[in-house]
Amino acid sequence: MNRKLLLILLVLFLPSAPNLLAQTVITGGVNGTVTDPTGAVIAEARVTLKNASTNQEQTVRTTGDGLYQFSFLP
């Protein structure tokens, strides 16, 4: 009886084993709008984001509406 129960449990839970070993990656993002002192948007502005602890930098350009976005930041 114990072998049968063990076999049933293995069949039920073995397929989910890879999910137990998966790692979760947490990421974030930053977005915004670049404007001048009058409030007008600035297209094609260069925006640089720097990680102060690693000194890694990423640079993007704003859209025609002055929008920028940094995605999937660790």
Tens digit of pLDDT for each residue in 22-41?
666 777 899 999 999 999 99
Question: With bands split at pLDDT 50, 70 and 90, how would you rate the model's confidence at 44?
Answer: very high
Dihedral sign, Cα of residue 54, residue 66, residue 29, residue 72? negative
Other residues' Cβ atoms within 10 Å of the Cβ of residue 62? 20
Mean pLDDT lowest among 4-8, 26-30, 41-45, 48-52:
4-8
What are the pLDDT digits (tens) for 9-26?
777 776 766 666 666 677
pTM value surpassing 0.85? no
